[in-house]
Amino acid sequence: MIRPKVYALDGVTPVVHPLAYVHPSAVLVGDVFVGPRVYVGPCACLRADFGRIVIEEGANIQDTCVLHAFPDRDLVVEIDGHIGHGAMLHGCIIRRNALVGINAVINDRAVVGEAAIVAASAFVKAEFEVPPRTLAAGIPARVVRALSDAELAWKIEATRGYQWLAERCLESMQETDALESADAARRAQRMPTREGVVPLAEMKRNASERKD
């Protein structure tokens, strides 16, 4: 198995569990801990030069996310945390099973509670606390409502999809040269069907149709 390339700072080297997948283009600097079954996507940046960054078991940090810690406390993404594409986390805590949507910003000393969801492009201001099992949205973010059981189940299944992706990448991802053309018989690659892995809006629409 090829170990991820990382950057030591002042003699402190990032720690990556052998069951975690870190894309080669991701940048890990300094006092970073990446736990088992974690997925760190392309071009993510985890820069622990001021303070420690901890990514706990089963969490995912998707493409182009930026994580940076303050000197006085750790930045932590707890077990099964789910950080969407392009999100920015700065000196904050993401509790167990919480989801941060695409391009959201979580600012200094904010806390996203257990099983909470922060909507795409939301801005969670410094020291704001998103209560457990609630949805926060807007700029600045405010608590909109409690989450339904169906939404929580959707989030759990989405995170399982990334845990499976980490395994898949460890098994088969390899750098190679691009093809000049593809075989005419080549089919579009699709993720194997997994119950619940659909856009949230589609899940809600399907649930509404079943009620009707």
For residues 56-81, average pLDDT:
96
Pairing of strands 134-137, 142-146: antiparallel
* Residue percentage of the chain with pLDDT more than 70: 90
- Span 15-38, pLDDT tens digits: 999 999 999 999 999 999 999 999
Closest CA to 87 of 74, 72, 77: 77
Q: What is the pLDDT of residue 192?
A: 66
- Span 84-125, pLDDT tens digits: 999 999 999 999 999 999 999 999 999 999 999 999 999 999
1-174+190-212: CATH topology is UDP N-Acetylglucosamine Acyltransferase; domain 1 (2.160.10)
**Chain-wide mean pLDDT for the chain?**
92
For residues 174-200, average pLDDT:
80
CA torsion angle 123 23 60 53 (round to 10)? -70
Q: What is the pLDDT of residue 189?
A: 80
- Span 186-197, pLDDT tens digits: 888 877 655 556
Contact 64, 80 (CB under 8 A): no
Q: What is the pLDDT of residue 210?
A: 61
Contact 28, 52 (CB under 8 A): no
What CA–CA distances, in Å, run from 205 to 136, 193, 199, 200? 21, 18, 10, 9
Please state, as a whole number, how many other Cβ atoms lie within 10 Å of the Cβ of residue 149.
8
Q: Is the predicted pLDDT of residue 212 greater than 80, yes or no?
A: no
